[in-house]
Amino acid sequence: MLTVYDPLCDGLRDPCGITGEPVLSWRLGCDCPGARQASCHVVVTSLTNGECAWDSGEVCTANSFVTYAGRELCVGETCTWFVTVTDDDGQVAYGVPASFVVGRAGDVAQSPYGPQRLGCAWTSSERLDWQLEQTGDDVRLDGTFWRDLLGVHVEGALVEVRPHVPSELSFAQGCLLLGRGLLVVRVENDGDATRLGVSLPPGMVGVLALGDERREVVSGRHSITGSMAERH
């Protein structure tokens, strides 16, 4: 029989500051070899007004995630959700309730890199931070910070990251909320090497490139390291 555990919203446990259409995911365990999920049923309830925000109904899928498709959620609204999973033999397993809080750009959300201010960027240069603040490039995927400095390109479920961080910056970090969840990119220069760290939302894949190093990854937290000579 299947068991359901580790309910996450956009790859985070009970996050605050979710925007867009969150991805609700869970993990499966089983005490019988070969058992698999045949369907799932997700219910999202607003704790703000006590109403059901979304009832997915029974969805025939082996995927252990769904994208929220209910009514538009309001900023500051707190929601709780749970999933019911049915296996091939018709046995039902119940997940534990989890929650999320709806936010907006500038709000603080939790990530594998700690608290992040949504849509914002940090660098070791106060001058660059000021420029980003004035132009608003830190909150646009096609802006200078994301495109030219961190080298982030998103196409559907694929994220390519090829940073161009100059050696005078000891670090640059950005946090962006995509449709599938929170994307965090951090580049560190320690004098001898450059380290690229990326946290990808659920359901996304990535290509990380740093000098001659190139790695294909799935959702989760990843890092690669390159030499000083490979910096742009």
Q: In a 3-state reduction of DSSP, which class is residue 130?
A: helix
128-183: per-residue pLDDT in tens?
A: 665 565 555 444 555 677 778 888 888 878 899 999 878 788 888 888 777 667 78
**Count of H helices and E strands in the chain?**
2, 18
CATH 2.60.40.10 describes domain 2-102: yes
pLDDT tens figures, 50-101: 899 999 999 999 999 999 999 988 877 899 999 999 998 899 999 999 998 8
Looking at per-residue confidence, does 178 or 203 come out higher? 203
Dist. CA 78–CA 201, nearest whole Å: 21
The confidence score (pLDDT) of residue 227 equals 60
Residue extents of the structural domains in the chain: 2-102, 108-230
Residue 229 has pLDDT above 50, yes or no: no
Both tokens of residue 199?
């946290």
Token duo for residue 59: 């969805």
Rounded average pLDDT over 94-120: 76
Contact present, 144 and 181 (Cβ < 8 Å) = no
Query: Distance between CA 168 and CA 62 in Å, rounded?
Result: 48
| Domain topology for 108-230 | Maltose phosphorylase, domain 3 (2.60.420)
Considering only 38-42, 198-202, 216-220, which range has the smallest mean pLDDT?
198-202
